[in-house]
A and B are shown apart, each in its own frame.
Chain A
Amino acid sequence: MTTYFEQVNVGDEVPVFERKTDFMSWNRYAAINEEFVYVHMDDAAGKAAGQGAAFGMGNLRWAYILNALRGWVGEEGEVKELGMQFRAINHKDDILTTYAKVVDKNPEGNLVRLEVDVRNQKGEKTSPGHAVVSLPSRG
């Protein structure tokens, strides 16, 4: 899929990337990122951290947003910038859904600015932020 700059409008939403996460996904991420941190592996550590139980990595939510953005811009587009605040924890079996909405277009460089987030099954905003992508032009 290729998304062209001309076909994008302010208010457009990017198709979501959704995952129900648990230790199967967290352990895979720990293995590739060498992220063996007790709070992501052991409920007792999650409790010691004041979070009640083990919880997922913010960086995995980061990856999910990038997956959603790359899927949308296609191989001709580029993710230029991404910023997120990891404001809420995600626990086992939470359903994480990406959110990305176009808020601005700049013809100089075919840049598109989006507000982004990863929301849980209750609609809570776990990771609000922004992204800038560049898109190809139809010419």
Chain B
Amino acid sequence: MPEAVETLVTEDMHRQKGVWGEARSSYPISESDIRKWAIGVYWPETPPRLYWDEEYAKGTRFGGIVAPEDFNPFAWAVPKGEFRAAGALPGQTPAKGQNILNGGQVDTYGVRMRPGDVITARSRLSHWEERVGRNGLTLYVFNETEWRNQKGELVKTRISTGIRS
């Protein structure tokens, strides 16, 4: 019989609360990154020309291709360190607190991302709530992330909710 877990809040979380982590920067965004993103999220429909047709995009108020607001310039960074799979694993019962789900998020959007932009992100643990739910003791962790482009302009802020049970 496993020991009952009294809390999923760790000492690290107490230390990290409210403290901005180290900033990280993306590789420069390419037109090809944006085009692939648009194809993926509009699949199987042809995505809007604003995301892949520079000639068309020049005639819009943007003056060129821009990325959809949800575009992630941090995908496909060169891996550093050992890969650790997130969430539940096939054929294994997750340890308490290791069943991790994306609970949602709130974004506010600033300037659009464009080809050539380098996005710098910083994050901090905002707060958490722990309660007993359908899956027993459940921890809701709220993280705050800020993205700025190379001019320092705000691209996005996000409050994301991670659910651990």
Contact = CB atoms under 8 A, between A and B. Distances in A.
Interface in A22-80: 24-25, 28-29, 31-35, 37-39, 42, 44-46, 48-50, 57-60, 62-64, 66-67, 70-71, 75-76, 78-80
Interface residues of B, number: 40
Interface in B68-96: 68-70, 72, 75-76, 85-94
A39 B88 contact: yes
Nearest to A58: B102
A20 B135 CA distance: 29
Interface of A: 24-25, 28-29, 31-35, 37-39, 42, 44-46, 48-50, 57-60, 62-64, 66-67, 70-71, 75-76, 78-87, 127, 129
B43 A49 contact: no
Interface stretch (B8-16, B20-28, B32-40, B113-121): B32-40
Contacts, number: 114
B94 A49 contact: yes
Contacts of B72: 32-34
Contacts of B105: 62, 83-84
A58 B70 CA distance: 12
Nearest to B66: A75
A45 B85 CA distance: 11
A83 B102 CA distance: 13
